[in-house]
Amino acid sequence: MTYWCPICAAHRDENEFRGENFGSRFFPDGVLVCEVCMKKHEGNLWFNEELINFEEAAEPHLKRAIKHLTGVKEEEKEHLEYGENIHLLFEENKRFHDEVERLEGISVDFGKPSSDWAEVLYRIAWRQKERFVGERVSWISTSNKRVIQAHIVEIDKEKKQFKLRALEGEGYKVKDKDGILRRGADKVVGLFHLLPPKTTGKKIYKKQMVCHGCCRMRLKGSMRRGLDYDNEHWFCSGCNIMSFGDLPSHEVQAYHEHFGKPMEEIPEHHREKFIEHNEDIMKKQGWPWIGNKSWTSPLPKKRNVKKFGENQEENDLRWTGDINRLTKCNGCGLKVINGWADSRVDPKDWNCKWCWTQYSLREGFPKKPTIVPHRKGVVILPSNEVTSMVCMEELWKITKVSDVSQPKTKKSKKKGVKMNLQTFHENY
């Protein structure tokens, strides 16, 4: 089993490096502190005592609240009998609900060192995201002796510095050379001086999500349908993996109805784009299995599928009752009723309606040349003129085909010779 260490941000194999969660319920599955980091912080009291004592030394109602916030189901236990002990039951439940409300409503500005693993893991998950201009952040002002809420106005990626502008309601002031307090100018800070914006305990005191792709804790993401088509997994916003869930629903339904089977693999015109996009994301995010074949791919495996229903050929044959009335499509190979050939290119190049529609969905655009199905290098301009493409990548570099007949141009009328009536009669 592999896990992700939030301290050194490395993926470790549990058989080689022992992992530890210190008994904290805030550690999500697949996240542990590795043995290397524990040895580095061996003498750190904050790391080995203070963070652990928040949960270990907690009172029963606080432990119960932590279990509730981290999604742990309570064990069934005998309830107190009604009567003289009923006040104990009410008092216990009241303290539990008050503790849950306190933890969820607490305001955290990250001005002090974290006192529990929940806040530490939230800070680490926040730092996994790439920063952007306009994002809400904060920093500790030494002159004001407090945390200043701000937003990013400029990013220097080479120096890894951020120019911050304090929010208007913060009242951020700095003394000038004369000792007079004035509104502070933009502040430039380094990457490690950036802090998350002020937030509530509802976002902190819970198990943070772990991305199914890069196997890191993240704050933002969504459930997405995997490559197995049925199962859904949580992917972070950085791992924007393309899967069947991203295909247009009308295109998926058309595929089902035409071929009579579920979409068991990505169609040809999506496959290359999907693979290239996913590989870029995997390399950028540093997926744990990249370059290490011993670790399995975190992407779900493609499942075996059965027949979905009648395909287009079976459906048309059932209605016509005669296979001779059907025409074989040069694209999908099915014999169907509806379709046509473009006589401007090749009258024998007959394609069904579905294939023509797929090419229109992929390449069609009012101001764009139309690519003829299965006629590589041949396009039709919006002006109805047949032309050829030198290379498919550079779509707009189009030259005329020499072997295709061009439309005849109207001959210009010759101007007549001026003559008088006598000359006219002599010549005609």
Is the CA virtual torsion 321, 322, 326, 332 positive or negative? positive
Tell me if 30 sits within 8 A of 4, measured CB to CB: yes
DSSP string, 105-172: H-EE---S---SHHHHHHHHHHHTSPP-TT-EEEEEETTTTEEEEEEEEEEETTTTEEEEEE-GGG--
Q: Give the domain ranges of the chain.
A: 1-105, 211-285, 312-399
- Per-residue confidence at 31, pLDDT binned at 50, 70, 90? very high
- Residue whose pair of structure tokens reads 């502070």 in the numeric block: 184
d(CA 211, CA 4): 11
Half-sphere exposure in the Cβ direction for 398 (13 Å, CA): 17
Residue 236 burial (CB count, 10 A): 24
Buried b (16+ CB within 10 A) or exposed e, 290-323: eeeeeeeebbbeeeeeeeeeebbbebbbeeeeee
Q: Please state, for a pLDDT cut of 70, what percent of the chain lies above it.
A: 73
Residues 6+ apart with CB under 8 A from 220: 129, 236, 237
Q: Tell me, what's the pLDDT at 380?
A: 52
- Per-residue confidence at 316, pLDDT binned at 50, 70, 90? very high
- Pick left, alpha or beta for residue 151 (phi over 0 → left; psi -120 to 50 → alpha; otherwise beta): beta
Tell me if 205 sits within 8 A of 108, measured CB to CB: no
What are the φ and ψ backbone dihedral angles of 324, each rounded to 5 degrees?
-70, -20
Q: Please state, for a pLDDT cut of 90, what percent of the chain lies above it.
A: 28
- Per-residue confidence at 291, pLDDT binned at 50, 70, 90? low
Poorest-pLDDT segment among 93-97, 285-289, 323-327, 360-364:
360-364
- Per-residue confidence at 402, pLDDT binned at 50, 70, 90? very low
